[in-house]
Amino acid sequence: MSREFSQAELEAYLDEQLDYERSAEVEKALRESPDLHRRLADINSRRDSGVHSLGDIWRRHQLGVPNRETLGSYLLGVLDDDHAAYIRFRVDVLKCPYTIANLRDLTEQEAAEAEQRDTRKQRFLNSTHKFFSDRKPKGKP
């Protein structure tokens, strides 16, 4: 378990955008390190004075998070390789909570819609089954 935390990780931690495993590492280290408390206080002080880094702006406004339409295309496997690689990078490397949450939500939404389609299809088949099973073949008494 690494005890070194980058400035970007600490800023993401304060914005609650750090993945849960790394956040747990920061919290454990905070209990043992006055220096880490000081670093976080410095970041908050800088933010309170109105100084923001480019990374702060990107994180706060979620500028790199793909929209749901793009994520849906990713799930369907129709994105070009570069865009698909970017989404995998956001999920696997950055562990972006917004991208992961949107992908999870779209997956669950598709599963629910598929279940509804199957239910409607089954009800339709059940309702027409009686109609077709009562018919006698032509030419037979």
What is the chain's pLDDT, residue by residue, as a tens digit (141 residues)? 447 898 888 988 888 888 888 999 999 999 999 999 999 999 888 887 777 777 777 777 778 899 999 999 999 999 999 999 999 999 998 888 889 999 999 999 999 988 888 888 888 887 777 766 666 666 655
Name 40's Cβ contacts closer than 8 Å, sequence gap at least 6.
10, 13, 14, 30
Q: Taking a C-beta distance cutoff of 8 angstroms, is the pair 26, 10 a contact?
A: yes
Give per-residue burial for 90-114: e unless 16+ CB within 10 Å, then b: beeeebbbebeebbeebeeeeeeee
